[in-house]
Structure 1
Amino acid sequence: MSMKNNIDAAGMAEVAKYPEPPILEDIVVGFDNVAIEIVEQLVGETEQLRIISIVGMPGLGKTTLANKLYDHPSVLYHFHKRAWCVVSQTYNKNNVLIDILRSIKNYKRETIMNMDDESLAEDLYKSLKGWRYLIVMDDIWDTKSWDDLKRYFPDDGIGSRILFTTRNKEVGSKASSNSVINALPFLLEAECWELLQRKVFQDENCPQELLDIGKQIATNCHGLPLAVVVIAGVLANMDNKEHLWQKILELSYKHLPMHLKPCLLYFGALEEDKEIPVRKLIWLWVAEGYIKKEEHKSLEDVALEYVVKLIDRSLLLVSERRFDGGIKTCKIHDLLREMCSRIAEENNFLKVVKL
């Protein structure tokens, strides 16, 4: 029996327990056709190892789409091993190898954190050899990181795939001679409006008196899903009054309560694409004096409420939850992090110094 047949007989895909892809938006609008095409690229066509890229500017929904593809039923059935890692602008080979191995073999970080790069790479290669695998490399900035890693991914001619999300089209095109580029388009105005309505009103209809201003808000998002989601998070927490919706045409930051503004701006000092444990974030906020004391509540409890409020407004993303459903780690989209950094410096709130 051939290697391929042996593998096909293995049945359903081996499910990666951690690290999981980020927990992002449940609602995806405007990418149906692109998603269908990429699923076919992942599970069909060539049996060679293939690099597939999702390309687009920040905020277009690359990670959100990749997240949906990662858990697509056809993908779950087709691949025996899956892994998700974030590469980011500050590429760290050791961290990437550890994240992939933790997905593939369910290692705990402390088990392998002291292994050197070559030992990690050898373990990874052996773990993937002979299996049909999918590796998602989220937010890869340049070809250097892929050139550094590609020899650790065996090509057994059984349909394995590497999925990039990137801002740079050249990353995908130069990665492999048979790579496929999927450029994400901006949303159409109608799609922006559909996404805004679904995020704000869910299964209900938009009130008639808000239709015109709502469509204007959607138009001013210029086809960027992140802008729609952030604005929708603010609108969902306001009364459905036309004069209030008019104010949303300003930056979403300006609509935050004063006690939440410093908490959000603090993310401007954090690393790009960096998850932060909520417990650590709370300690940092308390230490900086951002948390206002409330009667019959500890500062930590108040700080946790602040975290939830920022998540409800779609300004923070839940990265991982605890077994009891509580928020374990969170992160901010890098486009919003850049905004926080800029506003914080303009207001002398903080200054980020790159070493």
Structure 2
Amino acid sequence: MAEIAVTVVTDRLLSLLADEARLLRGVHTEVEGIKTELLYIQAFLKDADAKAEKRDTSQGVKTWVQELRETAYCIEDLVDEYILHFANRPHRRGVLGFLCKISHLLPKLKPSHEIASKVQDLKLKVGKLKEASSTYGFVSSFELGSGSCSGTSVPWHDPGVTSLFIEDAEIVGIESHKGELIKWLVEGAPERTVISVVGMGGLGKTILAKKVYDNKRMVEHFDCHAWITVSQSFKMEDVLRNVIKQFYQARKESIPDGTDSMDEMSLITRLREYSEDKRYVVVFYDVWKLEFWRFIKYVLPENKRGSRIVITTRNVEVGSAVKESSFHYIHNLQALPPESSWELFCKKAFRGCCCPPELEEISLAIVKRCEGLPLAIVAMGGALSTKEKNELEWQKFNDSLGSQLESNPHLESITKILSLSYDDLPHYLKSCFLYFAIFPEDYSINCGRLIRLWIAEGFVKGKKGMTLEQVAKEYLTELIHRSLVQLSDGDYVGKIRSCRVHDLMREIILRKAEELSFCWALGEEDSSFDGKFRRGSVQKSTDNVVETINRNPQIRSILLFDIDAVPMLFTGTSLTTLSF
């Protein structure tokens, strides 16, 4: 997103302007002016990025966001040039100090003129971009007061809602989970019990919870029940109102007049009064925020009648919050094992029949890339069921999986569901997560090295009383808790040694990283890259790398993977490289 680029640059400008780099007063004043303009334009960025990502958005909006992003990159480069030439001046006082300043300044008169000229050009460009924002109807978050952009809200369509209606015959591998959850719900202590089902998007949390919720034993056991979709953009009043309505409907009772016009406090009072003497069960599906649970736990009463609350979430932190309740269970949903994955794939791709021998090898390769993610297996199998049973055709599908995820309507649900986790990230984590796109497929990343790379790239923002390494470790832990990063290895005291991302999630962020000019990956099958980029990943082959880099003056770092011979360009003093 443009928001990432501009936020990083603004943070660096603020840091720069806070130090004592005052050697060139004129340049400093102009840099301060750019900083002010960027702070103002940040108010439009969330709205602008949302518009740019809509499929039906105009080309003008997309061009505006792209220009803003590239301008931010130019400013970042200029900040580095400014620091290189002027930030390390002598600090001596008196006559000797004055002479030192003069001797320090003289060699820099030419670069100072060039930087001042570049600053003026960029300031004019940023000003024009700010003026152009009104052309596309971007709404300043300062004007809205709440930080949201109400003028650009898109009707919410839950990409996982269709999974609620999947037939039992199409489901594989959830029976044991289903039996365990039902046992927790209908047996056990009379105290109110909270159950969280935790796992990354696409693991089947929704299907599992819905099959349990609809089970005959469950329906007969509870006096009233409610299934509530929370999602990322919930309104608490709507949540409370839906619970009340579903409770009344479950008992075939008339919903009280005035329910639709009640305020939050009245809704809470009505809900608590109604459910106080009943054994209820509520499923809160797709919970993203910890604040939701901290609110709702006080709304539903502890009535010692065997009531139950179920939440499904991608966030380990949200799932673990139920430990605040005396009676709780946490169900960490795992990926399907290889046997179940293969069974599910054959059900979808071959309509329950056996896989033809000539397609077995490529089919196994496709299933392996799904890494036990049921939603992905079902979508891939469904997409391939429409294709000719031809090995060449299926190999082509596997080789172009990244573009298939972007354009194939059969795979749209995977892309949407996995992308939701990325979209929910705060800006300071988006750059860190996109950085995983720079590593090869199935690559186990050393966490210590990753943290140092984040710091070197400027992604980690300091916190009072903490080192940058400690802050970066917090970032990594949060990505793990959000089910975006998987642990590859740890030691006996639980210290994280290495990590990785799911292969399909990597494909999605690889496309996103290229789209944002964030990074570019050159593998054996690629000959070149047409476009600008900030970071490069050279994997196995260095053919045409030098030419590609020469066409991209904005490049900031290059990582080499599995390279036998390092090109001469990388051995010079002007470029520092890391080889893995």
Residue by residue, what CA displacement relative to the aligned partner does 1:128-169 show, whole Å, maximum 9, x if unpaired? 221111100111123321121222212221211001101223
- Report the counterpart of residue 92 of structure 1 in structure 2: 235
- 2:296 aligned with 1:155, yes or no? no
CA distance in structure 1 between the partners assigned to 2:258 and 2:364 by the alignment: 52
8 Å Cα contact 1:85/1:138 also seen in 2: yes
Q: What residue is the counterpart of 2:319 in the other structure?
A: 172
Counterpart code for 1:138:
Y
Question: In 2, Cα distance between the equivalents of 1:113 and 1:41?
Answer: 34
Equivalent residue pairs, number: 263
Structure 2 counterpart SS, 1:64: helix
Identity %: 34
Q: Secondary structure at the match of 1:37?
A: helix
Aligned with residue 346 of structure 1, among 511, 515, 518: 515
How far is 1:117 from its partner? 0.8
Output one character per residue of 1:253-274: Cα deviation in whole Å (capped at 9) or x when no partner: 734897969x999979x999xx
Counterpart amino acid of residue 151 in structure 1: Y
SS in 1 for 2:386: coil
Could you tell me which amino acid in structure 2 is paired with residue 58 of structure 1?
G
Aligned mate of 1:188, from 337, 358, 367: 337
CA distance, structure 2, for counterparts of residue 70 and residue 81 of structure 1: 12
Matches within 5 A, 1:33-52: 33-52=176-195
- Asked if 1:208 is matched to 2:357, the reply is yes
Q: Distance in 1 between matches of 2:267 and 2:508?
A: 36
Aligned to 1:69: 212
| 1:119 aligns to 2:266 (yes or no) | yes
For 2:407 and 2:382, the matched residues in 1 are separated by 17
d(CA) in 1 for partners of 2:235, 2:370: 34
1:165 match: secondary structure? strand
| CA 1:264–1:168: 2 relative to 1, 3 Å | closer
Structure-2 change in CA distance of 1:271 and 1:35 (3 Å): closer
Q: Which has the larger radius of gyration?
A: 2
| Greater share of helix | 2
Alignment of 1:193-342 (within 5 A): 193-250=342-399, 254-255=403-404, 339=508
Relative to structure 1, the CA distance from residue 234 to residue 108 in structure 2 (aligned partners, 3 Å threshold; closer, same or farther) is farther
Against the structure 1 CA distance between its residues 109 and 122, is the aligned structure 2 distance closer, same or farther, given a 3 Å change threshold? closer
Secondary structure of residue in 1 paired with 2:282? strand
- Residue 237 of structure 1 aligns to which amino acid in structure 2? T
1:144 aligns to what SS in structure 2? Answer: helix
Shift of the 189–110 alpha-carbon distance from structure 1 to 2, 3 Å rule, reads: farther
Q: Deviations over 1:82-126 (max 9, x none)?
A: 111122233421121122223222488996443211122222222
After superposition, the Cα gap between the structure-2 partners of 1:109 and 1:243, relative to the gap in structure 1 and judged at 3 Å, is: farther
Which amino acid in the other structure matches residue 94 of structure 1? E
State the distance in 1 between where 2:316 and 2:414 align.
Answer: 31
String of CA shifts for 1:183-226, please: whole Å, max 9, x gaps: 11111112111111112223322222222221221111111112
**Contact 1:217/1:248, CA 8 A, preserved across alignment:** no
Instruction: State the structure with bigger RCO (CA 8 A, min sep 6), 1 or 2.
Output: 1
Note the residue ranges of structure 1 that are not aligned, 5 or more in a row: 1-20, 273-334, 349-355
Query: CA–CA distance in 2 between the matches of 1:254 and 1:147?
Result: 41
Contact 1:22 1:67 in 2 (8 A): no
